[in-house]
Every structure is written in C-alpha cells, then in structure tokens.
Amino acid sequence: MYMPNLFIYYAFTKTIVFAFIIATVPSYFGYFVKGGSLEVGRASTQAVVWTMVFIIISEIFNPINIKLMIEVKDLKKSFGDVEVLKGISTSFDKGKVNLIIGQSGSGKTVFLKSLLNVYMPSSGEILFDGKDINTMTRDEKQHLRSEIGTVFQGSALFDSLTVEENIMFPLDMFTNLTYREKKEKSFRSNRKSTP
C-alpha cells in the first residue's frame, strides 16, 4: 500500500539525520585535535570514515523499504511490420546507475517510452515492484509516473504529440482540471513562448 506522507516523513528525517552526522562527527574529531597539520589530516580522515560508517548503519536500519525495481521480461514493440524491440529482458535495481546505449535507431527511445507506458508493448511484461504496468489502473499509473523523473535529451517533446498535447500532458496526469481549463492553460503557455 502506498503512503506518500510516510515517504516524505522518511526523506525529511533521513536528511536531518545525515546532516546531524555530517556536522557532529567531524566537529567531534576536530575538537580534540592536538598538534600540527599531520594531526588535522588524521582527524579529517577519521571523521570521514566514521561519518560513512554511521550513514551505512542508518541505512541498514532503515524502517521503510523504498525500492522501485523495474523488471522487463521479453519486451517486444512493433510499428506495423517493423519490429523495433525484439524480446528485451533486463532489470533495474535500487541503488544502481544504469545506462541504455546503442546506435541511432536501435530502439533506446522506444524502450524508454515503453517503460513510461507512452507506448504499449506488442508483448512482454514491464514490472514495477512486481506489478505489471499493463494491468495497473489509471490511478496506479498516475501515481507511478509521479515517482519517476524523466529528462529528455535536448529538452525534446513527445514526438508523437502536438505542441498543445505536450503542454497538456502533465496537466492530464497531475491535475483534475477540465478539458477546457487545460486547453486554456495550454493556449496561454503556448502564447507566452511565441516571440
């Protein structure tokens, strides 16, 4: 069950705990330094090591398991007769940095848009914490998207949408505005960006 306030509370608490550790441990070691620059260097090293130990310990005893793991199983996506994704299987684990690299036209963007559910896969599964995105309700998808940050290269827009649809996209996902209100906001936003 999703509890956004619990996650916010945890993030806030974690920030305060880490700030406290980072501020107090070096201060403690610095307070008891005697001697010259060699002793200051040793105290600094000890402070860094003990700060990292305390941070690791605090993560081990983390009361909230915030883990967004993505697992992709035999993902295929075709456009007409052209099969772009040909059975991709992979996983993205918490705490790991992943790169998706390949030649131009190899399907990187199609893969990412499939993960975001902009494109529906032809077949295969995309699991977020074990739940298939294709079986999620609209509200579950909306919540999931609110947890995922996406930055397009070169500030690009969705090439499959019009400018107006690109402007309305986050309004559709994160507001309860009527269609007319979204159109008005889109029109005003588009007018501001026109020279």
What pLDDT, in 10s, does the model give residues 145-184? 777 766 666 556 677 778 788 778 878 877 888 988 888 8
Question: Which has more pLDDT, 135 or 63?
Answer: 135
Nearest of 121, 125, 133, 128 to residue 84 by alpha carbon: 121
pLDDT at 1 over 50: no
pLDDT at 33 over 80: no
Helix spans in 32-104 (H): 37-60
70, β-bridge pairs: 92, 128
Do 112 and 164 meet the contact criterion of CB atoms below 8 Å apart? no
Question: Which has more pLDDT, 27 or 119?
Answer: 119
φ, ψ dihedrals at 103, nearest 5°: -70, 160
φ, ψ dihedrals at 83, nearest 5°: -90, 110
What pLDDT, in 10s, does the model give residues 78-91? 999 999 999 999 98
- What's the confidence (pLDDT) of residue 55? 73
